[in-house]
Amino acid sequence: MTIEEFSFANFIKSVLWLAFWILTVVSLIGIPILFILLFYVEPPEIAGMKITPYLLLTMITNPQVGAPLIRATLESDFFKVAVFPGFGFASIFATLLIFTERKLLAKMQIRVGPHYAGKEALWWIRQFGGFPQLIADLLKLIGKEIIIPASADKIIFLAAPVTMVVASAGLVSLIPVGENWVVADIDVGLLVIFALLGFFPLTALLGSWASNSKYPFIGGLRALHQLVSYEIPLFLSILGVVILAGTLNLTGVVNAQSDIWFLFLLPIGAFIFFITALAELERIPFDIPEAESEIVAGWLTEYSGMAYGLIQLANYVKLYALAAIFVTLFMGGWSGPTIFDSIYIFDSLVFSGEELSSFLWFSIKTFGVAVLMILPRGINPRIRMDILLRTGWAKLIAISFINIFIAVALIYTGVV
Amino acid sequence: MSDIERLNSMLPNSLSVEESREKGILTLSVGPQHPGSGHFRLIIKVDGDIIVDAEPDPGYVHRGEEKMCEYRNFMQNIPHLERPVIADSCSILYPYCLAIEELLNIEAPRRAKFIRVIMSEINKMIFELYWLGIYGIFLGHSTMFMWPMADRELLIDLAELASGARVTHAYFVPGGVRNDLPDIFKDRAVRQLKYFRNRLNEYSKVFYENPLFIDRTKGVGILSREDAINLGVTGPVLRGSNVPYDIRKVEPYDVYDELNFDVKYMKDGDCFARAYVPYLEMYESVDLILQALEKMPDGPVRAKLPPNPKGKVGEVFKRVEAGRGELAYYVISDGTQKPYRVKLSVPSFRAIPAMRKLLIGARLADMPAIYWGLNYWPVEADR
């Protein structure tokens, strides 16, 4: 049907026919099949209630019955891992960070940045015109072919991006977003963070070696060199926090900062952690493994399509994770004054006021730190490998020992 | 000893295939499809991070400009001769116009000479800004790319106001310039150049005083004064190596001897000096244009010529200072309407021996800084 033949009556008629057929098919075939299936399946139990079809039907007439289910779902493991505070939250945060980065850099560079995509749909928020550009980019990456070099090691080549996403999700799972709001609240959280951070350059090396190409190979070796230069100061800077907090548990670290943030007690440690986090993220000025003008795209050279997209996703999730770790270690994590009222639905609790406030404070602090991590890209050129090695070994390690001495002195004098 | 033998004796010997295999040396072909090469290939051998051999391989965009000149008459040569350097299109036409004027025995009117100085300096700044922007990209500094590119638009607007075209102006002709400047040109030029000078002050704070930029460029790729002279580099590269040599002072053409300006030079001869000299020269260019606008008389802008002029029998050699250095034309005429031979001596081609000299022993990460710092423009070198 072309535009000329279009008539409103026909349109209504076709919609009604469609509704009629859907209703017929669902009531005659769908509902009987559903009931037959439910007869054999054991209903799950949430918040002391068996989720039976009968219960779901009663919820239509009496919604009060289902209200406790909301809180129970929010506290379930699946929700925590997949949505909040797990990977879904991190991905959305990362998307926001990508948009912020593009707009912020554009402002610094006398440009407009993404502007046209969705300009009409989002006319009421002018600053966010261009936000759908990210969706367009994602669709483009999904639509592209993943080209695997002829002599590449296929399995390792494709495993590297997936491993990166998994490792960055592992980082996310350790971060407490509020009191008891953490996916994995383990006693040796900081040790796991050390282990995961050391894992990323190995992924880069594996991916680059599997590409069987010269530029990626150089990029992978550079990633390892970079690891050697920043990892020790990174760990030493966290050691100061561990000495003051007396625990490796991240929730414990946050609770230890109830009086004063460690940022004010250990400013040197915070500085070193910030610098080395930039190096870990391979962001400018430390994007040596991806140096575009020297080695094409470094270890990413042979990656295309969604394989490349996954690596970028992992990078931005990692940016969120490291900003969040900085907030947890030095800026008191989620702590902050309570400004919200609790949310109740039919007298059963959904979110308490403390929880909502802690989410807000955590998000604001993390976003601020992440923006600070983005900013150096606008004003700095790329640093050279030997300069980074010299800085890492000769300067950062030295002052991170000073940081540890300060931490010990604070304990000894009884300030903390 | 011939010139080429002398040049070769100054450069290190290249490695044989067996030698590089034994030492585990990796050969990289940087270009012609590489984000940091342009239409140019550089075969680099690296031992770890250190470059042990570098072989420049130009010639990917050879168009035969010199031969093309022999099939066209003096006027028809203008539009195609500026194609090798579209970012600096007036400077590459300038010596051609000077040479043909001598062959045809005419002189440009005085106003045209001032206009040529103005346009040549504007084009030089357009080129230097473009160069600076790409230098930023080569060092991984994205803002250093965006700012000069944005400010370049101001100068391109000025050039467009004068000539009607944004990059390839075809504005200089033997006997003057194609058309007079519009009336609003002077006011707008003064306003935009003053704004541009303020922007230049910000460049220094944001780019040149950045400690990481200094780390990357200071002491990297040092070209000593003797090497710079012997290898024959010109322009900002030569002036960066403590040689205050500028054709505008040494051999003033048109009205450069009536205008006040300094030859800017640096003593270090490293990448920072080569990046800083063009920046200092932009201040001089702004001053030169403002002076020329003040002193410019009224009058015609183009000497009268017959439709298809014939040159006198003879040869002529003219050179000017372009954005990349000394640009010279050697034209032979046999008394017909077409030149018998046109030879371009371009500054980019002279950078190749120095490139090999500087790259060997440098780090791989310094390769882009050294390569682009030498003001090498592949299309111009290939002609």
**What is the model's pLDDT at position B286?**
92
Largest CA distance in chain B: 72
Helix ranges, A26-86 (H):
31-40, 53-61, 67-74, 77-82
Q: Measured between alpha carbons, how far is residue A167 from residues A164, A192, A220, A235 in Å?
A: 5, 11, 18, 18
Q: Which residues of B touch A110 (CB under 8 A)?
A: 146-147, 150
The model's pLDDT over B141-189, given as tens digits with 9 standing for 90+, comes to 888 889 999 999 989 999 999 888 888 888 888 888 888 889 899 899 9
**Contact (CB, 8 A) for A94 and A366:** no
Q: Which candidate, A191, A196, A183, places its Cα nearest to that of A77?
A: A183
**What is the model's pLDDT at position A122?**
64
**What is the model's pLDDT at position B7?**
65
Cβ-defined contact of B141 to A381 (cutoff 8 Å)? yes
Cα–Cα distance for residue pair A196/B206, rounded to 1 Å:
36
Structural domains in chain B, CATH included, are 65-344 (1.10.645.10)
Which residue in chain A is spatially nearest to B48 when comparing CA positions?
A218
- Extract the tokens encoding A414: 């009884």
E strand map for A181-321: none
Q: Which candidate, A250, A357, A266, A366, places its Cα nearest to that of A318?
A: A366
Q: Determine contact: B143 vs chain A, CB below 8 A.
A: yes
Size of interface A-B (CB pairs under 8 A): 83
- In the predicted model, what is the mean pLDDT of residues B47-59? 85
**Contact (CB, 8 A) for A316 and A305:** no
- Give yes or no for residue A1 having a pLDDT over 60: no
Per DSSP, B330 falls in state E
**Contact (CB, 8 A) for B279 and B132:** yes
Find where tokens 């150089």 sit: A218
The CA-based angle A160-A198-B142, given to 5 degrees, is 75
E strand map for A94-167: none
- Give yes or no for residue A42 having a pLDDT over 60: yes
CA–CA min distance A212, chain B (Å): 13
Find where tokens 């006319």 sit: A123
Query: How many other CB atoms sit within 10 Å of the CB of residue A369?
Result: 22
Q: Determine contact: A278 vs chain B, CB below 8 A.
A: no
- Give yes or no for residue B97 having a pLDDT over 60: yes
- In the predicted model, what is the mean pLDDT of residues A267-271? 90
- Give yes or no for residue B112 having a pLDDT over 80: yes
Q: Determine contact: B50 vs chain A, CB below 8 A.
A: no
Q: Which residues lie below 8 Å from residue A84, measured CB to CB, with a gap of 6+?
A: A74, A177, A181
Largest CA distance in chain A: 87
Q: Which residues of A touch B38 (CB under 8 A)?
A: none
Cβ-defined contact of B36 to A292 (cutoff 8 Å)? yes
Strand B26-30 relative to strand B41-47, pairing: antiparallel
**What is the model's pLDDT at position A2?**
63
Cα–Cα distance for residue pair B245/B232, rounded to 1 Å:
12
Cα–Cα distance for residue pair A351/A345, rounded to 1 Å:
10
- Give yes or no for residue B56 having a pLDDT over 70: yes
Query: A20-45 burial, b if ≥16 CB within 10 A, otherwise e?
Result: eeeeeeeeeeeeeeeeeeeeeeeeee
Q: What is the ipTM of this complex?
A: 0.79
Q: Which of residues 185-224 of B touch A (CB under 8 A)?
A: 206, 210, 212-213, 215-216
Query: B277-294 burial, b if ≥16 CB within 10 A, otherwise e?
Result: bbbbbbbbbbbbbbbbbe
Phi, then psi, of A19 in degrees rounded to 5? -60, -45
The model's pLDDT over A336-377, given as tens digits with 9 standing for 90+, comes to 888 888 888 777 777 888 888 888 999 999 999 999 998 888
**Contact (CB, 8 A) for B164 and B86:** no
Sorting pLDDT into bands at 50, 70 and 90, what band is A265? Answer: confident
Cα–Cα distance for residue pair B175/B108, rounded to 1 Å:
5
Cα–Cα distance for residue pair A316/B111, rounded to 1 Å:
59
- In the predicted model, what is the mean pLDDT of residues B43-57? 85
Burial class (CB within 10 angstroms; exposed 0-12, middle 13-18, buried 19+) of A78: exposed
The proportion of chain B whose per-residue pLDDT surpasses 70, expressed as a percent, equals 95
Identity of the residue in A105, A109, A294 whose CB atom sits nearest the CB atom of B368: A294
- Extract the tokens encoding A346: 């039919």
- Give yes or no for residue A326 having a pLDDT over 90: yes
- In the predicted model, what is the mean pLDDT of residues B227-242? 89
**What is the model's pLDDT at position A127?**
62
- Give yes or no for residue A257 having a pLDDT over 70: yes
The model's pLDDT over A145-184, given as tens digits with 9 standing for 90+, comes to 888 888 888 888 889 899 999 999 899 999 998 888 888 8
CA–CA min distance B4, chain A (Å): 31
- Give yes or no for residue B12 having a pLDDT over 70: no
Q: Measured between alpha carbons, how far is residue B19 from residues A218, B11, B16, B48 in Å?
A: 21, 18, 5, 15
**Contact (CB, 8 A) for A406 and A268:** yes
Specify the long-range contacts of residues A122-127, CB closer than 8 Å, at least 24 apart: A127/A103
Q: Determine contact: A56 vs chain B, CB below 8 A.
A: no
The proportion of chain B whose per-residue pLDDT surpasses 90, expressed as a percent, equals 18
> Residues in chain A, how many?
416
Cβ-defined contact of B364 to A294 (cutoff 8 Å)? yes
Cα–Cα distance for residue pair A268/A245, rounded to 1 Å:
16
Cα–Cα distance for residue pair A365/A356, rounded to 1 Å:
14
Cα–Cα distance for residue pair A33/B50, rounded to 1 Å:
71
**Contact (CB, 8 A) for B155 and B166:** no
- In the predicted model, what is the mean pLDDT of residues A101-115? 87
Half-sphere exposure of B365 (CA within 13 A, CB side): 26
Sorting pLDDT into bands at 50, 70 and 90, what band is B1? Answer: low
- In the predicted model, what is the mean pLDDT of residues B355-367? 87
